[in-house]
């Protein structure tokens, strides 16, 4: 099942801590995994950046938001405990504790950047006077995403737009230039990195082989390449892959079929059995981005985290 949103963890987390015991974050995660009946695969699903799991990230942000609202405290590194304010909140805790609900706490409003002057200037209500807790601020952002989720989603959107822009440029070059581009990309990826190894050895008219790359200087390991620039509506089928397999049969090398379009399921199954590597348009543009081929870095964002190893050295 999908990992719950960060705010869905907040109420059950607070209830789990209701006994007042200080709990390690690892214990909290195990409790949340059991509460939501998540599988090992569910909690192992990685964010697009591959740096952290969705589960750990969202549990972490849930604890951060509860802490900023003053409902839990972090007495020691990697541990959380409910506060007296948190115990009071349990008396009337809703099923879902979202940002709008947490906005009744001034420390949370300060954390999310809300201006205290935007509070109701008419004075406190009777409920506020009795509980000492302000009413929610309507302007609080009730996003279902953590900041990390939002950043990852924005990054993926930019990545997809870049892929589309790259494909537009690729489709403007000639089929022959595309063949050379594929060989140059392969060289950038580390296949045939010595001098001139990435240059095409033309097999024009030779049963559809568009070029080769020598992986070693003496040419013992060869990669035979077919590179076809087709529109996205052209789905490469098994017959075309089968023809390529026939073209390289007995040549003692490996095969790579590259296209700007896509492959049919039958083509993929056949290629897997024949040990032929397939690279469709999506993979092609992904590799171009990964290996900085045809792209340049426009802006760099660094997201940093606390290095606990440094602080461990100061512990007695």
**Residue-range domain boundaries for the chain:** 6-119+139-144, 174-290
| pTM, entire model | 0.65
What pLDDT, on the 0 to 100 scale, is given for residue 218? 62
More confident residue, 250 or 174: 174
What pLDDT, on the 0 to 100 scale, is given for residue 207? 58
Average pLDDT over residues 84-95: 95
Lowest mean pLDDT among 115-129, 176-190, 256-270: 115-129
pLDDT in tens, 286-313: 999 999 999 998 888 888 888 877 887 7
pLDDT in tens, 215-236: 766 666 788 999 999 998 899 9
More confident residue, 114 or 195: 114
pLDDT band for position 214 (cuts 50, 70, 90): confident
Separation between Cα atoms, residue 132 and residue 135, nearest integer Å: 10
State the architecture of 174-290 in CATH terms. 3-Layer(aba) Sandwich (3.40)
Contacts of residue 62, defined as CB under 8 A and 6 or more positions apart, other chains included, come to 6, 7, 9, 10, 13
Separation between Cα atoms, residue 187 and residue 201, nearest integer Å: 13
Separation between Cα atoms, residue 283 and residue 262, nearest integer Å: 10
- 265: phi > 0 → left, psi -120 to 50 → alpha, else beta; which? alpha
Distances (CA, A) of 172 to 28, 166, 230, 279, 289: 54, 10, 11, 19, 18
Provide CATH code, domain 6-119+139-144: 1.10.10
What pLDDT, on the 0 to 100 scale, is given for residue 41? 95
Separation between Cα atoms, residue 247 and residue 283, nearest integer Å: 24
**Residue 145 backbone phi and psi in degrees, to 5:** -110, 150
Q: Is the pLDDT of residue 117 over 60?
A: no
Average pLDDT over residues 54-60: 93
**Residue 119 backbone phi and psi in degrees, to 5:** -65, 165
pLDDT band for position 203 (cuts 50, 70, 90): very low
Average pLDDT over residues 160-178: 92
Distances (CA, A) of 285 to 261, 271, 282, 292: 11, 21, 5, 10
The three-class DSSP label of residue 257 is strand
What pLDDT, on the 0 to 100 scale, is given for residue 310? 82
Residue 254 structure tokens: 């490996």
Q: Is the pLDDT of residue 195 over 60?
A: no
Residue 273 structure tokens: 């059995």
Q: Which of 104, 86, 111 is CA-nearest to residue 22?
A: 86
More confident residue, 193 or 90: 90
Q: How many CB atoms lie within 10 A of CB 223?
A: 19
Q: Which of 21, 4, 10, 32 is CA-nearest to residue 79?
A: 21
Percent of the chain with pLDDT over 90: 55
pLDDT band for position 128 (cuts 50, 70, 90): very low
**Residue 123 backbone phi and psi in degrees, to 5:** 105, 170
Q: What is the β-pairing status of strands 254-259 and 276-279?
A: parallel
Average pLDDT over residues 266-279: 95
What are the beta bridge partners of residue 258? Answer: 227, 279
């Amino acid at each position: 099942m999908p990992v719950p949103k960060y705010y869905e963890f907040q109420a059950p987390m607070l209830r789990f801590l209701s006994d007042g015991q200080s709990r390690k974050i690892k214990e909290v995660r195990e409790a949340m995994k059991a509460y939501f009946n998540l599988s090992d695969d569910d909690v192992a699903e990685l964010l697009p950046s591959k740096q952290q799991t969705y589960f750990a990230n969202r549990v972490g942000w849930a604890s951060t938001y509860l802490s900023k609202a003053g409902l839990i405290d972090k007495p020691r590194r990697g541990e959380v405990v409910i506060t007296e304010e948190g115990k009071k909140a349990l008396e009337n805790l809703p099923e879902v504790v979202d940002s709008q609900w947490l906005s009744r706490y001034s420390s949370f409003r300060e954390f999310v950047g809300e201006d205290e002057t935007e509070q109701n200037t008419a004075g406190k209500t009777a409920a506020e006077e009795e509980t000492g807790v302000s009413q929610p601020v309507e302007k609080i952002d009730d996003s279902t995403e953590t900041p990390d989720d939002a950043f990852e989603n924005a990054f993926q959107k930019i990545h997809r737009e870049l892929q589309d822009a790259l494909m537009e440029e690729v489709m403007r070059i000639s089929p022959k230039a595309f063949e050379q581009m594929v060989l140059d990309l392969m060289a950038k990826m580390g296949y045939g990195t010595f001098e001139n190894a990435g240059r095409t050895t033309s097999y024009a008219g030779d049963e559809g082989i568009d070029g080769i790359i020598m992986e070693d200087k003496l040419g013992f390991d060869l990669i035979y390449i077919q590179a076809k620039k087709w529109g996205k509506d052209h789905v490469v089928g098994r017959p075309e892959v089968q023809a390529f397999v026939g073209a390289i049969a007995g040549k003692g090398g490996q095969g790579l079929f590259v296209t700007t379009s896509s492959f049919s399921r039958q083509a993929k199954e056949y290629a897997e059995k024949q040990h032929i590597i397939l690279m469709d348009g999506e993979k092609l543009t992904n590799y171009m981005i990964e290996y900085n081929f045809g792209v340049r870095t426009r802006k760099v964002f660094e997201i940093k985290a606390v290095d606990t190893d440094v602080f461990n050295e100061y512990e007695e």
